[in-house]
Amino acid sequence: MAPHGPAAAALPGTMRAEPSPRPLAVAIAYSRLPLPMTRADQMTVAHLIAFLAARGHAIDLYTLDNGEPISAEQRAWLNARCRSVHIFPQRMVRRLLGLVAGLLRGLPLQVGWFLNAAQSAALARGIGDCDLGYCYYIRSAEAMRGLRAVRPTFLAMQLSQALNTRRMVAHYRNWRERLLYAVEGRLVRSYEPRVWRDFTRTVLIGADDAAEIRRLCRGSGLPEIDNVVFGPHGVDVRRFAPRPDVTPAPRSLVFNGVLRTYTNVHAITWFVEHVFPLVRAGAPDATLTIVGRDPRSEVRALHGRDGVTVTGEVADPADWIARAELCIDPVQAGAGMQNKLIEFMAMGKPVVATTVANEGIGAMPGEHLVLADEPGTMADAILALFADPSARIRLGVAARRFVEEGWSWEAQYLRLEAEMVRAVDEAGGP
């Protein structure tokens, strides 16, 4: 669920958004620098900043520096869109100390890893000059937790990490990673049903994430979460657009994603092992191109197998998606939503995906895409689409329309902005 390649580090374009009639001052707490956009969460925060700035809102960014370099151009981009930018070093010693301190408090590992007392203190001082606080991911929750009494605060939890880690433990093969996520799963199952109560709103991607947290609340004997607003990610519908000038290669499949992320590693290795041989049995000339940066060894080992190419990092994944006759998203672990899926659909591509991949997006099976969870049914769906050009065109056109109608960054953030204004009004106005 992430961008990749040099193009992923490009600066977000100007949002198509009219100035807001209700400009707000927003404090954003985040666990890393939003640029370069080499991770899905960086992409989301960078586009949020671009949207809020285009709408005329003032942004005070309180963010951690984990050592990822950004260019002078990227830093200038941030400074031009934010009223103030506060950057707090978060090097390895501080992370390890935070991890220990977090464990002593029963915090999830990912929360302790990003604990930063200087960031918390600065937010406590500065939020009084803002109308609202917005903190991205539970990793930053402790930086803003408890400030609800000063200003309305939003926790962009996005996905239920309890659901996410449960699926990871169920699917991952590496015993070290299964053990790590089993420990983390236990901690987030205790944290998620409690942390939301310290924020005015909790932003989640989809209904399955909300249902998981409600289940955890009931299991802990706590009040069920009742402050959810839905705020999925969007897609750049101008960059990811149909390419009528590109003729797809016959019987070609494409998968793209950051290939160090184990949800993607598991997905594509499962597909190559269990599904692609069935596809090749029915279409011996079928090809699969696996696109993405930082491929792990098990992904690199797939390169050169019958019909399989692993590209590694590419200049722009949209170029490779355009050449595909079909796109696949066989993700089985994880929660939230799959950015790659809406990128495929935005480009007007027919897609075969799992139910989990579509979970946070809610595209209509058979109308916008084809869903299949078992190797045989997935292979059959791919072969049927290879053989039916009219079905491929119909799915691709419907997929593009589905994204245009509700999945641009502007569309998602306009809904989020309305919730921000509502929360400020409930608190007595800006």
pLDDT single digits (tens) 92-138: 999 999 999 999 999 999 999 999 999 999 999 999 999 999 999 99
Nearest alpha carbon to residue 339 among 204, 234, 259, 210: 234
- Helices (H), strands (E): how many in the chain? 18, 13
Sheet holding 287-291, edge to edge: 308-312, 287-291, 252-256, 326-329, 351-353, 370-371
Residues 210 and 325 in one domain: no
The pTM (predicted TM-score) of the whole model is 0.85
Is the link from the previous residue into 295 a cis peptide, with omega within 30 of 0?
no
Selected residue with higher pLDDT from 144 and 334: 144
pLDDT greater than 50 at residue 361: yes
- Residue-level pLDDT at 8: 42
Tell me which H or E stretch contains 424. Answer: helix 409-426
Q: Is pLDDT of 9 > 80?
A: no
Q: Are residues 319 and 356 in the same domain?
A: yes
In a domain, 388, yes or no: yes
On the question of pLDDT at 5 being above 70, the answer is no
Residue 245 lies inside a defined structural domain of this protein: no
* Rounded distance between C-alpha atoms, residue 2 and residue 44, angstroms: 10
CB of 194 within 8 A of CB of 155?
Answer: no
Query: What digits encode the pLDDT tens for the residues 162-201?
Result: 988 888 887 777 788 889 889 999 999 999 999 999 999 9
Same domain? For 143 and 108 the reply is yes
Q: Which domain holds residue 44?
A: 6-234+409-426
Q: Residue 184: inside a domain, yes or no?
A: yes
Residue 384 · residue 204 · CB < 8 Å: no
356 and 401 fall within a common domain:
yes
Tell me the three state secondary structure of residue 27.
strand
Q: Are 46 and 70 in contact (CB under 8 A)?
A: no
pLDDT over 70 at 336, yes or no: no
Asked if residue 251 has pLDDT above 80, the reply is: yes
pLDDT at 14: 61
Q: Give the whole-number percent of the chain exceeding pLDDT 70.
A: 96
Distances (CA, A) of 59 to 110, 129, 158, 332, 388: 25, 11, 20, 37, 50
Cα 246 from chain centroid? Answer: 28
Residue 341 lies inside a defined structural domain of this protein = yes
* Model pLDDT for residues 269-320, shown as the tens digit of each residue: 999 999 999 999 999 999 999 998 889 999 999 998 989 999 988 888 999 9
Report CA-CA distances (Å) from 396 to 133, 217, 237, 347: 39, 40, 14, 8
* Same domain, residue pair 31 and 162: yes
| Predicted pLDDT at 308 | 95
Q: Which of 55-59, 262-266, 342-346 has the lowest mean pLDDT?
A: 262-266
Non-local (6+) Cβ contacts of 22 within 8 A are 421, 424, 430
247: in domain: no
**Residue 315's pLDDT is what?**
86
Residue 85: the pLDDT is 97
Integer-rounded Cα Rg, in Å, for the chain is 22
For residue 242, tell me if it sits in a domain: no
Q: How far is CA 421 from CA 26, 57, 205, 288, 343, in A?
A: 11, 11, 20, 46, 29
Q: Please report whether residue 146 resides in a domain.
A: yes
Q: How confident is the model at residue 91 (pLDDT cuts 50, 70, 90)?
A: very high
pLDDT for 262: 83
Same structural domain, 330 and 192: no
Same domain (yes/no): 310, 221: no
Q: What percent of the chain has pLDDT over 90?
A: 73
Average per-residue pLDDT in the chain?
91
Do 334 and 193 fall into the same domain? no
Six token digits for residue 323: 């050449």
Domain count, the chain: 2
Closest alpha carbon to 86 in 109, 63, 111: 63
Q: What's the mean pLDDT in 321-348?
A: 90
320 part of a folded domain: yes
Q: Rounded CA gap, 94 and 96, in Å?
A: 6
pLDDT of residue 41: 87
**CATH number of the domain enclosing 136:** 3.40.50.2000
pLDDT value of position 276: 97
User: Both 259 and 230 in a single domain?
Assistant: no
| pLDDT at residue 339, rounded to an integer | 85
Question: Tens of pLDDT along 11-44?
Answer: 776 666 788 889 999 999 999 999 887 788 898 9
Question: Based on the domain organization, do 67 and 208 belong to the same domain?
Answer: yes
Residue 293 near residue 259 (C-beta atoms within 8 A): yes
Does pLDDT of 10 surpass 80? no
Q: CA angle 7-10-14, nearest 5°?
A: 130
Do 306 and 188 belong together in one domain?
A: no
Do 227 and 209 lie in one domain? The reply is yes
Residue 83 has pLDDT above 60, yes or no: yes
pLDDT (tens digit, 9 = 90+) per residue, 313-324?
A: 888 899 999 999
pLDDT at 238 over 50: yes
